[in-house]
Amino acid sequence: MGAEWRSIRVAHSLGGIRVVNEYGPPVEILPKAVNGKLASFETPTYAALYSMSESIGLPILGVEFFTHSGQFNGKDIPEWRSFYRANNTVWGNAESARLWSDIGTGAHKARNGRLWDVGSRISQQLKVCGWRLKELSDSYHAQLVSVSEDKDFNSNTRFMNGYTWLCYLSIQSFLIDICILRDYLSEFAANFVFDRVESKKHINITTLSGLKKHVLNNQELEDPIAIELNLMTSDMGWLKQLGDYRDLVVHSAPLAQAERKLYAITKKIEIPGGELPYICCPIPSNPHKISASRANGSLFENFEEQFKKYVGAGEEENDYIDGLEYCHEVLGLMSCLANVLGSRSPVKPQMMVFNSSNIIGDVKISNR
């Protein structure tokens, strides 16, 4: 058993819930159930933790791995990986970051400076976005712990405390960073995936909007990746919606003040033996519409109506989506897109090998 259980794992689930597995089959769920009892189950094998958690209704968004003492005493950070059951690989974000790191290494050996530069930036930004998701989930957990033991914890109660602001701040940070990644991938696509007409080759494309204007709008393109990107950036496409969220928080208003005062919302989920508390931080389901109404002034024409929207009076559940679930989903989609684009790299990915040729100075070996 000791050999199989290679690490202590803290799996992040919806709304701030944690699924904790130490060295062995017992698994605890935090925080406590609504009835005050600690929910638990056993996983028959190390690998079965994720399917066991999903089987009781707790999807896995990401996992922290603790493998050595430094990660427990604060000298090192745990390994973090976002988790995607529906994708070809559950560790899609981490594997995509590794792919682009290897592309950067291959480009360096091929002395392709532009590819080395953009490939290294893509790899770094994939890691950044993965960590931003962890920070967001941690903010949710702190928010949940702050209210989970209240005696009057009921479903669909709107509330706000000091942690609520941190949740929305984390959502905004994620949206900004993932759109930086979007633009890095667009820069790669414009320079290494698609042929560009002679008159456009001098244009330095570094954003999705530039890619769409100068490359994707060329009707002669029949590349399957171009077709997919056109669908993704159409009015109903996920890249278009992501851009609308980013533009809303950067150019119009913070998410927590985009259309109304966005509170956290208490939720409960049924699992075998009881109910677990969790939270939702709603973000507007129509970011483009809100940005447009702020830009043309229609949101401000009737102060009473504006104020009602601001405090959330009469808000329907289909008016919003959960911020954590959306960010988790869009990171998976972006990681898949990065893998697809990476398959068109003009150089072969190569793993970095450390030896006397690329190590400068003395190296200290840790005994951890």
For 58-103, the pLDDT digits (tens) are 999 999 999 998 998 889 999 999 999 876 789 999 999 999 999 9
Integer Cα distance of 261 and 74 in angstroms: 36
Determine the pLDDT at residue 27.
Answer: 96
Average pLDDT over residues 167-182: 94
Average pLDDT over residues 186-205: 85
Q: Would you say 260 and 315 are in contact if contact means Cβ atoms under 8 Å apart?
A: yes
For 286-340, the pLDDT digits (tens) are 777 765 555 555 554 554 554 344 344 335 556 788 999 999 999 999 999 999 9
Pick the more confident residue, 300 or 272: 272
Determine the pLDDT at residue 263.
Answer: 84
- Residues linked to residue 79 through DSSP beta bridges, in sequence order: 65
Q: pLDDT category, 150, cuts 50, 70, 90?
A: confident
Average pLDDT over residues 12-25: 96
Determine the pLDDT at residue 358.
Answer: 56
Cis peptide before 31 (omega within 30 of 0): yes
Integer Cα distance of 340 and 342 in angstroms: 5
Pick the more confident residue, 281 or 312: 281
Pick the more confident residue, 239 or 366: 239
Determine the pLDDT at residue 311.
Answer: 40
Determine the pLDDT at residue 129.
Answer: 98
Q: How far is CA 160 from CA 18, 287, 311, 347, in A?
A: 21, 22, 12, 51
Determine the pLDDT at residue 314.
Answer: 35
Average pLDDT over residues 16-23: 96
Q: Where are the domains of the chain?
A: 8-342
Determine the pLDDT at residue 225.
Answer: 94
Determine the pLDDT at residue 304.
Answer: 52
Average pLDDT, the chain: 85
Q: Is the pTM of this model over 0.85?
A: yes
Could you tell me which residues come within 8 angstroms of residue 199 by beta carbon, excluding any fewer than 6 positions away? none
Residue 32 backbone class (left: φ over 0; alpha: ψ -120 to 50; beta: rest):
beta
- Residues linked to residue 276 through DSSP beta bridges, in sequence order: 269
**Percentage of the chain exceeding pLDDT 90:** 61
Integer Cα distance of 99 and 95 in angstroms: 6
Q: Would you say 331 and 178 are in contact if contact means Cβ atoms under 8 Å apart?
A: yes
Of 17-26, 36-45, 250-259, give the lowest mean pLDDT range: 250-259
